Amino acid sequence: MNTKPIVGIVSPCYNEALVLPETSAQINAVLADLAARNLISEKSFAVFIDDGSKDQTWSIIEQQARQLAHIKGLKLAGNVGHQKALLAGLITFKDEADALISIDADLQDDVRVIEDMIVKFKSGTDVVYGVRKERVTDTFFKRNTALLFYRLMKIMKVNIIYNHADYRLCSQRVLNALSEFGEVNLFLRGIIPSIGFRSDVVYYDRLERFAGESKYPFRKMAAFAWNGVTSFSNYPLKLVTIVGFVIFFFCLLMTGYALFALYTGNVVPGWLSTVLPMYFLGGVQLFCFGIIGEYIGKIYSEVKQRPRYFIDKRVD
Ligand code: UDP
Ligand code: MG
């Protein structure tokens, strides 16, 4: 294994002028320290992706890049959102580093675990997930919506790492694999675990936002969670099939009861012929919808043309 890998830190920024000088100073210091201790190459760098910010973010990035040895910048044409901005950084810089670490620009992800990630990478791990220990610094609202998010993912059978956001290290071959995913609705937390390769986690305490405010209001969080479900699982469609089947089954039971009632003469005239077909047709219709849905689900996943597998190694 490469003993002094080139490591790149990728950080998407949207209106982060208030935190950026501090963030780049801290990350620059970490990189300088790791390089001085011969843990990483001198060529290691950090790149800030300006996701179409409306404030001074870009001019600060430019200024930081001029002043600090390890800092670079990338400006996107417009605001594309956190996931796509991050992807832009990962794809653009994947060939310039042995591994890239993605991190939020607001210093909520503890920069001290960068070293742990690199140590794990050097021992042959391809993906290192940063996992939050406690959510003590988050508000009650954020903590509980986050909990709901992970519950939902579990119920809908989407495979993600619990309490891991987008603070992670990916080796170059993981990034090469990532670049083969052509989908528009990106959900990196679902895609990276689906790629495979050896992975590990490092734990850290989620810190308070250094300055500025969260760019993820509830509306965006809900859209993000729904995208996570619909781009990784057809389970909601399956639920429709199941519900349809349950109603159908319930209707069969009711038919049994109705026949019994008819036999004992204990029935309101007209009740049977009104209620039974309603449940029966309702059940059958939902069931059919579900089946059609399953096919649409299949078409959907085919249309996306995701690569089916990646080759890890070979022997000749
Ligand atoms: N971000 C971005 N584009 C956006 C929204 C957010 O690049 O449209 C960046 C933001 O600058 C930050 C990261 O994504 O570095 C996470 O956003 P934020 O801290 O606002 O989310 P939270 O931590 O509150 O979930
Ligand atoms: Mg944040």
Q: Domain map of the chain by residue range?
A: 7-215, 235-304
Q: Which atom of ligand 1 is nearest to the CA of 81?
A: 8
What confidence score (pLDDT) does residue 245 get? 81
pLDDT in tens, 239-264: 878 888 888 888 888 888 888 887 88
Q: Distance of alpha carbon 79 from its chain centroid, rounded?
A: 18
Any atom of ligand 1 within 6 Å of the Cβ of 166: no
| Nearest-angstrom CA–CA distance, 108 and 205 | 9
Any atom of ligand 1 within 6 Å of the Cβ of 283: no
What confidence score (pLDDT) does residue 306 get? 66
Any atom of ligand 1 within 6 Å of the Cβ of 94: no
What confidence score (pLDDT) does residue 250 get? 83
Protein residue whose Cα sits closest to atom 16 of ligand 1 = 104
Q: Which ligand is nearest to the CA of 209?
A: 2
Question: Mean pLDDT per segment of 10 residues, for the chain of length 316 residues?
Answer: 87 93 92 93 93 92 88 88 89 94 91 94 95 77 82 81 90 94 81 91 83 76 79 77 82 84 77 78 80 79 66 47
Any atom of ligand 1 within 6 Å of the Cβ of 132: no
Q: What is the ipTM of this complex?
A: 0.95
Q: CA distances (Å), 310 to each of 118, 177, 305, in order?
A: 24, 7, 14
Any atom of ligand 1 within 6 Å of the Cβ of 215: yes
Protein residue whose Cα sits closest to atom 19 of ligand 1 = 214
What confidence score (pLDDT) does residue 40 get? 94
CATH number at 7-215: 3.90.550.10
Any atom of ligand 1 within 6 Å of the Cβ of 188: no
